[in-house]
Structure 1
Amino acid sequence: MNKSYLMAIAAGSFLFVSCVSGKKLKKEQARYSELNSFYTKVQQDLKTCREDAEAMARLKAQYESEIANLNKQVAFLKDNNNVVVTQLKDLSVISSAQAESIKKSMDNIGAKDLYIQDLQKSMARKDSLNMALVMNLKSALNDINDSDVEIKVEKSAVYISISDKMLFKTGSYDVSDKAMTVLGKVAQVLNSRPEIEFLVEGHTDNVPIKGGPIADNWDLSVKRATSVVRILQNQFKIDPKRMTAGGRSEYLPIADNSDASGRAVNRRTRIVILPQLDQFFKLLEKPQS
């Protein structure tokens, strides 16, 4: 009897230990899954930051090239004026008109130097504003598939490119229900910056339209752009004065139309936030004291 009792105790202990180990294993597995998800998100955020840094590096190189050209012009003007002044030193008489002309030339060079310095500062501010806009858009759309929505800065403009599979059915210009989420998030950012004006561009592949109410790819690209504009105006209350709708048809492809994957990339709608020249030059204005 004592033997049976001991065996029962041993069996009970084994079951208790097994139960505890099973619970601990599940807990550790859940923690591993959580850490793995966090690691994946960190990797995606790191990739986004690297892409943004590369875009800003390209912009910086472009602006530095433009500024270098301006500096060369200033240096050329200074050299020419130095030559003129040297030559005038050899003359016995300089008329008052000539002296005034030289003074004005030197003043103009000084003004151009100051303009270049202000231009550099304003370009830096413009880059910062564009970068802030891009980061706000990417934050708003962080749960959207990267292959369906692309955001980038190029030549001082911000581009939001949305694939047609997210917005429309094939050959149609009716905006799908699932597109409302994306357009709503973009509209939220655009409404927070009421000074921004933008262009909505429709793009197609080169497959001809056959029959039906749509005449051709020109017609389809324009109708898709105007469909998006109407949604932004009527559903999300963006001021229509800020928007322009346009179609580019098949004539601005970004991939080869010879295969299905290339044609899928070319079918897209772009929201182009153009640089506002009047706003840019306002950045050059000195604040009133």
Structure 2
Amino acid sequence: MKKLILFSVTMMLMLSACVSKKEYAALEAKQKETQDLLNTATVKLNSCLEERASATARAKALAEQLEDFRKTNQDLIQSNKDLTMLTSKGASNVEKTLESLKEKDLKISRLQDAITKKDSVMLALVTSLKKEVGINDPDIEVNVEKGVVFISIADKLLFKSGSYIVNERAKEVLAKVAKVVKSKPNFECMVEAHTDPVPYNKPPLVDNWDLSVKRSTSVVRVLEDLGVASGKLIAAGRSQYVPIASNDTAEGKAANRRTRIVILPKIDEFYDMIEQEMKNLSAGN
């Protein structure tokens, strides 16, 4: 197309001296028409190139998705094989009960019921905590991660800077937490304290490890005073090593200075619940 235009311009220059103005004007109009066609073709070409690039990207994404589906399918097949092996080795009493596919489906259904009961308890616990603790406080956050309830309390709400003595305002919040924890006898409570990376050395404490542990035990003692059974409490210090924000800013450091109260279901009791479901299944048959 470019060669055609060049040829047209050349011919116009050669003939301009020997053609009439009318012919020249016609040639000039033809040249403009050719240029317009070229511009239109260029726009369409660019659009086609963009569409091809987009289609190529979509095709690549679909191929990756397909590969993920294939891998997931293989993992599910392997998991099923592993479960079958485990059942054959360690659950002979279940195998005697599950003599048919229908009975196996019933076992899975019972397990799902047990898990659903656990999830329902956790959901009720979160609802209760949000209602009691006051989720509207920006310094308190209640959420669930992987079946575990977390109550995250900002450092400024619990302690003065560099201190491990729980202040009076925090005791009001902890009293609400204690009320909910005491109402759930099948759960344990872990207090997990975090610091920022600013070096700490105020005797008798020597570093952030000491400070985080001391803060967690201070909160544990407050919960004990509020009537939470000591056997349900766990004190844990994480120092500066599990940040949730960048320590490059004052806001990030403030976010990292926090105490989490983790409400944990007793795993042994959860499995007891599943075992009881299995016994009920056997008795039914």
Match of 1:181 among 172, 187, 206: 172
Match of 2:182 among 180, 187, 191: 191
Using the alignment, how far apart are the partners of 1:244 and 1:264 within structure 2? 24
After the TM superposition, which residues 120-159 of structure 1 pair with which residues of structure 2 at under 5 Å, given as runs? 120-142=112-134, 145=137, 147-159=138-150
Consecutive unaligned residues in structure 1, runs of 5 or more: 1-64, 78-102
After the TM superposition, which residues 1-289 of structure 1 pair with which residues of structure 2 at under 5 Å, given as runs? 69=76, 73=80, 107=99, 112-142=104-134, 145=137, 147-234=138-225, 236-284=226-274, 285-286=276-277
Q: CA shift at 1:143, angstroms?
A: 6.7
Q: 1:214 to 1:129 in 2, by over 3 A?
A: same
Q: Is 2:129–2:177's contact at 8 Å kept on the other side of the alignment?
A: yes
Deviations 1:83-104 (A, max 9, x none): xxxxxxxxxxxxxxxxxxxx97
Sequence identity (%): 46
Q: Is 1:204–1:268's contact at 8 Å kept on the other side of the alignment?
A: yes
Using the alignment, how far apart are the partners of 2:122 and 2:204 within structure 1? 40
1:274 match: secondary structure = strand
Q: Is 2:149–2:263's contact at 8 Å kept on the other side of the alignment?
A: yes
Q: 1:76 to 1:123 in 2, by over 3 A?
A: closer
Specify the code of the residue in structure 1 equivalent to 2:80: Q
Using the alignment, how far apart are the partners of 1:179 and 1:76 within structure 2? 47
Q: Is 1:74–1:112's contact at 8 Å kept on the other side of the alignment?
A: no
Specify the code of the residue in structure 1 equivalent to 2:200: I
Using the alignment, how far apart are the partners of 1:149 and 1:257 within structure 2? 20
Deviations 1:86-137 (A, max 9, x none): xxxxxxxxxxxxxxxxx97983866654332222111111111000000000
- TM-score, normalisation: structure 2: 0.62
Q: 1:117 to 1:265 in 2, by over 3 A?
A: same
Specify the code of the residue in structure 2 equivalent to 1:154: E
Alignment-derived partner of residue 8 in structure 1 = none
Specify the code of the residue in structure 2 equivalent to 1:123: I
Question: Larger radius of gyration, structure 1 or 2?
Answer: 2
Deviations 1:47-90 (A, max 9, x none): xxxxxxxxxxxxxxxxxx9xx9489617996xxxxxxxxxxxxx
The alignment yields a C-alpha RMSD, in angstroms, of 3.1
Using the alignment, how far apart are the partners of 2:214 and 2:270 within structure 1? 32
Q: 1:248 to 1:108 in 2, by over 3 A?
A: farther
- TM-score, normalisation: structure 1: 0.61
Kindly report structure 1 stretches of 4+ aligned residues shifted beyond 4 Å. Answer: 74-77, 103-106, 108-112
Deviations 1:217-246 (A, max 9, x none): 000000000000001112x11110110101
Specify the code of the residue in structure 2 equivalent to 1:233: E
Q: Is 1:150–1:162's contact at 8 Å kept on the other side of the alignment?
A: yes
Using the alignment, how far apart are the partners of 2:130 and 2:259 within structure 1? 17
Q: 1:175 to 1:109 in 2, by over 3 A?
A: same
Q: CA shift at 1:193, angstroms?
A: 1.3
In terms of mean alpha carbon deviation, does 279-288 or 212-221 score higher?
A: 279-288
Q: CA shift at 1:208, angstroms?
A: 0.7
Using the alignment, how far apart are the partners of 2:267 and 2:246 within structure 1? 34
